[in-house]
């Protein structure tokens, strides 16, 4: 009887609580992740939702999602609702796994945090349930089309297109995630909604507002690629806010009737004919910078120019109108405009390398480099495996031989076995403690400042690693250095977790499993810091920071004038106004690299670029080499041929790439110009996670890149309210410098892209 009474009491309490919850509950609806419920792993993505409350409500919305280690990261947004009035709430979230979850909770602001609304979404796909949103790998391409971009399968239907071409184009387009926005009114006004995109196509309607144009410009400056189809809408484009940052005194556009379209076929590498009866209405670009991608008798049909750390491709024809929208080579053209390439197949040598290192991406190599502490020794995985094998030998064959053959008393195994186990535990403890620091907390800060020398635009990416000698909880935040850098408006840095794009433990591509006993921590609502960050004993926690901003004043004063293939004329020079000298500098332009030579300048020569002092590129201490040979460490030697083969010959020797090289300066040089070194065919590594760091395209667009090291960080680190000075702190700069082309007459874009 008492069991029945207890059961009824529990049921009554449950129903009463459920009724109370239903009465005060807040409805969560219209949840959207990114632009179309899809994003890339680790990329900050805006999550929007709609809340409706039956009564006035004040509280918080909690967004909780696991990080790559399985710990739960919470980020909150304050809300104040009026009875019956829907309200849209947005917050930025980063997903740490491909198969992950997002838990949204609405909590009262009553000190107890009572949950009055809850919803759980998942990206996991099963045979019975479709995912609520999608999280993709970093190497998947994302396109956004604004307007009516034909999504044809025409190229695959054409009998006049080679089968190999059809298969290649079809496979590339199938791998692309594409989002379509028909009207510019639906285009985002916040740059964080564009973070996962690789290419944006603008076709047709150009009615962008000033805020939409500013968001698109910041995305391009941060490394995005915009394909702009102007065509017959040149007048509309010129009156659009987009033209304010795309066109200037060096770059103009005019309407024209175009009759020569044969260059498009060559650029798109297709045999499909373009059916054209008369001249087509379009536009031609003229200017003193950039590159002609598709020339014609009339002028440049497709041109490209740099804008910040991204680039813009202007198409002088309408992609949504005849003859291109019915052209059977259109898919091939879109692939070429977006710069898609068939992935190279790594050879057996590369697979052997990856199996030994566990590194498949340059981002993983950089992550390991910024997470290393010189004072903390590491134990080799091979050493640990060797000790395990020794232990198995001792407790197995050796123990058996000793007690059975030597002592001839098998019963002593009950003594020898526990002794060996205790001895192994003691040795393991001693080995683990040897060389490890017992400091409560040690920090390492690495930062890369990308500066556009023409506009002062800055893109900062940093890594903060914390090693703890004990289990601890830390409150970490970041702030812009406003004392030594002259900002137009103080930027607001963000801070979040960092991980490798790998399938191993702690990697973002690792399959989700059962997570028991994982910890929770909170991201600040403005993403400037983390509170209650868990750091387990004798482990390293790596965080990633970043911001965009603009420096006031002239950062770079330069006179770089091209006088040949990658060469500068004798008067070319540059100087800077950064707070400190630039050490270990390299200057890269159009296939050549300039650097300081101790052999030429002498040990006492000035190796750093001092603020306010000009560096002449024809100075005695400056030497230059071909970029590819410098990247690959190629050297030439003379080899005497065998008798009868005649004389001798010059052979080149190329250094094998070392994925275990953790010198950050060398890594940044390879990450910045990976394609110049041969790409994956040379390194054996992908370059997807840090693809925005690749600057190889810009050095072909009248930009030189100055890479070096300065001593002043642009981001300050705070533990609690105290500013920290990490014992290991490195700040690197990559500065884009415009180059004048003195070989050609101004008025037409000077160079053709190979």
pLDDT bin (cut points 50, 70, 90) of residue 566 is: low
Distance CA 700, CA 627 (A): 13
Distance CA 264, CA 518 (A): 55
Of 745 and 619, the one with more pLDDT: 619
Of 452 and 383, the one with more pLDDT: 452
Question: What is the CATH T-level fold of the domain 21-136, as seen in this structure?
Answer: Immunoglobulin-like (2.60.40)
Q: Name the least confident of 9-23, 127-141, 209-223, 737-751.
A: 9-23
pLDDT at 153 over 50: no
How far, in Å, are 70, 98, 381, 511, 691 from residue 507 at the CA level?
Answer: 10, 10, 18, 9, 18
The residue to which tokens 């498949």 are assigned: 360
Going by C-alpha positions, the residue among 493, 419, 516 that lies closest to residue 66 is 516
Task: Give the angle subtended at the CA of 200 by the CAs of 199 and 202, to the nearest 5°.
Answer: 150
Domain 142-338 has CATH 3.40.50: yes
| pLDDT tens digits along 486-511 | 999 999 999 999 999 998 878 999 87
3 state DSSP class of 416: helix
Distance CA 680, CA 344 (A): 7
pLDDT bin (cut points 50, 70, 90) of residue 24 is: low
Cβ-contact 589, 619 below 8 angstroms: no
Going by C-alpha positions, the residue among 707, 617, 695 that lies closest to residue 666 is 707
Paired residues of 689 in beta bridges: none
pLDDT at 41 over 50: yes
Q: Name the least confident of 10-19, 46-55, 103-112, 223-232.
A: 10-19
User: Which token pair is 260?
Assistant: 């020569």
pLDDT bin (cut points 50, 70, 90) of residue 155 is: very low
pLDDT at 343 over 60: no
**Mean pLDDT, the chain, as a whole number?**
85
pLDDT at 396 over 90: no
pLDDT bin (cut points 50, 70, 90) of residue 156 is: very low
Distance CA 215, CA 192 (A): 9
Q: What is the DSSP letter of 646?
A: -
Cβ-in-10-Å burial (0-12, 13-18, 19+) of 30 comes to: exposed
| pLDDT tens digits along 165-193 | 555 788 788 889 999 999 999 999 998 88
Distance CA 530, CA 476 (A): 5
pLDDT at position 158 is 39
Print burial letters for 78-113: b (CB count within 10 Å at least 16), e (below 16).
Answer: ebebeeeeeeebebbbbbbbbebbbbbbbbbeeeee
Largest Cα separation within the chain, whole Å, is 109
pLDDT at position 400 is 81
Of 5 and 326, the one with more pLDDT: 326
pLDDT at position 159 is 37
pLDDT at position 351 is 40
Q: Name the least confident of 258-262, 451-455, 535-539.
A: 535-539
pLDDT at position 642 is 54
Say what percent of the chain tops pLDDT 70.
Answer: 83
3 state DSSP class of 3: helix
SS (H, E, C) 357-373: HCCCEHHHHHHHHHCCC
pLDDT at position 600 is 67
Residue 143: which residues within 8 A CB-CB, separation 6 or more?
176, 177, 178, 179, 197, 198, 199, 200, 201, 338
pLDDT at position 457 is 97
Distance CA 752, CA 754 (A): 6
Residue 149: which residues within 8 A CB-CB, separation 6 or more?
180, 201, 203, 319, 320, 334
pLDDT at position 1 is 45
**Alpha helix ranges (H) inside 394-438:** 399-400, 413-433
**Mean pLDDT calculated for residue range 435-455:** 83
Residue 672: which residues within 8 A CB-CB, separation 6 or more?
588, 693, 694, 695, 696, 705, 707, 734
Total count of residues recorded for the chain: 754
User: Which token pair is 722?
Assistant: 């105290």
pLDDT at 84 over 50: yes
pLDDT bin (cut points 50, 70, 90) of residue 198 is: very high
pLDDT at position 54 is 93
pLDDT at 135 over 60: yes
What are the E-state strand segments in 87-241? 87-93, 101-108, 115-122, 134-136, 142-147, 177-181, 199-203, 225-229
pLDDT at position 556 is 94
Q: Name the least confident of 432-441, 460-469, 675-684.
A: 432-441
Going by C-alpha positions, the residue among 714, 246, 702 that lies closest to residue 448 is 714
| pLDDT tens digits along 632-675 | 988 765 555 555 555 555 566 788 999 989 999 999 999 999 99
- Spell out the domain ranges in the chain: 21-136, 142-338, 381-433
Q: How many CA atoms lie within 13 A of 233 on its CB side?
A: 22
Q: What is the DSSP letter of 382?
A: H
- Long-range contacts at 414-420 (CB < 8 A, ≥ 24 apart): 420/391, 420/394, 420/395
Distance CA 557, CA 713 (A): 22
Q: What is the DSSP letter of 609?
A: B
pLDDT at position 377 is 60
The residue to which tokens 């072909």 are assigned: 700
pLDDT at 752 over 70: no
**Mean pLDDT calculated for residue range 201-209:** 91
| pLDDT tens digits along 703-736 | 999 999 999 999 999 999 899 999 999 999 999 9
Of 654 and 14, the one with more pLDDT: 654
pLDDT at 307 over 70: yes
């Amino acid at each position: 009887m008492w069991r029945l009474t207890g059961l009824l009491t529990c049921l009554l309490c449950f129903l009463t609580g459920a009724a109370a919850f239903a009465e005060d509950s807040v409805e969560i609806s219209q949840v959207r992740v990114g632009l179309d419920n899809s994003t890339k792993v680790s990329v900050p993505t805006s999550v929007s939702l709609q809340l409706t409350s039956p009564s006035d409500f004040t509280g918080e919305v909690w967004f909780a999602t696991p990080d790559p280690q399985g710990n739960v990261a919470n980020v909150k947004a304050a809300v104040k609702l009026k009875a019956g009035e829907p309200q849209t709430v947005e917050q930025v979230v980063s997903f740490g796994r491909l198969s992950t979850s997002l838990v949204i909770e609405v909590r009262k602001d009553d000190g107890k945090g009572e949950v009055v609304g809850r919803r759980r979404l998942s990206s996991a796909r099963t045979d019975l349930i479709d995912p609520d949103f999608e999280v993709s790998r970093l190497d998947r391409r994302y396109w956004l089309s604004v307007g009516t971009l034909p999504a044809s399968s025409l190229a695959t239907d054409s009998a006049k297109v080679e089968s190999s071409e059809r298969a290649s184009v079809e496979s590339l387009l199938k791998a692309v995630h594409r989002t379509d926005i028909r009207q510019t009114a639906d285009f985002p006004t916040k740059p964080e909604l564009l973070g996962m995109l690789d290419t944006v196509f603008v076709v047709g309607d150009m009615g962008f507002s000033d805020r939409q144009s500013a968001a698109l410009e910041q995305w391009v400056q941060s490394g995005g690629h915009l394909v702009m189809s102007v065509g017959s809408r040149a007048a509309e484009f010129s009156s659009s806010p987009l033209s304010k940052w795309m066109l200037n005194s060096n770059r103009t556009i005019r309407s024209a009737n175009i009759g020569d379209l044969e260059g498009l076929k060559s650029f798109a590498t297709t045999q499909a004919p373009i059916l054209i009866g008369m001249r087509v209405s379009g536009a031609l670009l003229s200017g003193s910078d950039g590159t002609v991608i598709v020339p014609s008798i009339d002028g440049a049909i497709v041109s490209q120019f740099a804008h910040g750390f991204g680039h813009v491709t202007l198409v002088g024809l309408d992609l949504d109108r005849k003859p291109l929208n019915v052209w059977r080579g259109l898919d091939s053209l879109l692939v070429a405009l977006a710069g898609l390439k068939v992935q190279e197949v790594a050879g057996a040598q590369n697979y052997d390398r990856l199996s030994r290192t566990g590194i498949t991406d340059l981002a993983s190599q950089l992550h390991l480099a910024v997470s290393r502490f010189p004072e903390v020794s590491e134990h080799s995985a091979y050493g640990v495996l060797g000790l395990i094998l020794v232990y198995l030998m001792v407790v197995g064959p050796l123990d058996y031989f000793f007690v059975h053959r030597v002592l001839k008393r098998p019963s002593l195994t009950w003594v020898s076995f526990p002794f060996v186990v205790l001895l192994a535990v003691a040795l393991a403890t001693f080995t683990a403690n040897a060389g490890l620091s017992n400091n409560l907390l040690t920090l390492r800060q690495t930062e890369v400042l990308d500066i556009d020398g023409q506009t002062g635009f800055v893109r900062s990416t940093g890594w903060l690693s914390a090693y703890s000698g004990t289990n601890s909880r830390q409150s970490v935040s970041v702030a812009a250095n406003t004392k030594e850098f002259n900002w137009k408006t103080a930027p607001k840095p963000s801070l979040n977790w960092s991980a490798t794009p790998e399938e191993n433990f702690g990697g973002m591509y690792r399959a989700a499993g059962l997570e028991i006993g994982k910890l929770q921590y909170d991201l600040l609502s403005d993403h400037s810091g983390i509170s209650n960050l868990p750091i387990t004993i004798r482990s390293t926690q790596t965080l990633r920071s970043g911001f965009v901003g603009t420096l006031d004043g002239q950062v770079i004063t330069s006179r770089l004038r091209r006088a040949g293939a990658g060469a500068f004329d004798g008067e070319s020079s540059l100087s800077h106004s950064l707070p400190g000298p630039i050490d270990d500098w390299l200057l890269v332009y159009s296939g050549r690299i300039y650097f300081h030579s101790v052999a030429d300048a002498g040990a006492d020569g000035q190796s750093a670029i001092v603020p306010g002092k000009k560096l002449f590129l024809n100075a005695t201490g400056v030497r230059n080499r071909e970029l590819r040979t410098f990247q690959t460490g190629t050297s030439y030697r003379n080899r005497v041929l065998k008798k009868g083969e005649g004389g001798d010959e010059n052979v080149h020797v190329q250094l094998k790439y070392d994925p275990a090289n953790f010198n950050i300066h060398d890594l940044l040089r390879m990450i910045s110009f990976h394609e110049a070194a041969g790409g994956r065919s040379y390194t054996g590594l992908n370059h997807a996670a840090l693809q925005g760091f690749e600057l190889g395209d810009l050095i072909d667009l009248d930009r030189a890149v100055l890479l070096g090291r300065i001593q002043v960080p642009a981001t300050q680190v705070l533990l609690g309210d105290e500013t920290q000075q990490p014992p290991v702190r490195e700040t690197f700069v990559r500065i884009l410098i415009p180059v004048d082309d003195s070989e050609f007459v101004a008025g037409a874009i000077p160079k053709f892209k190979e």
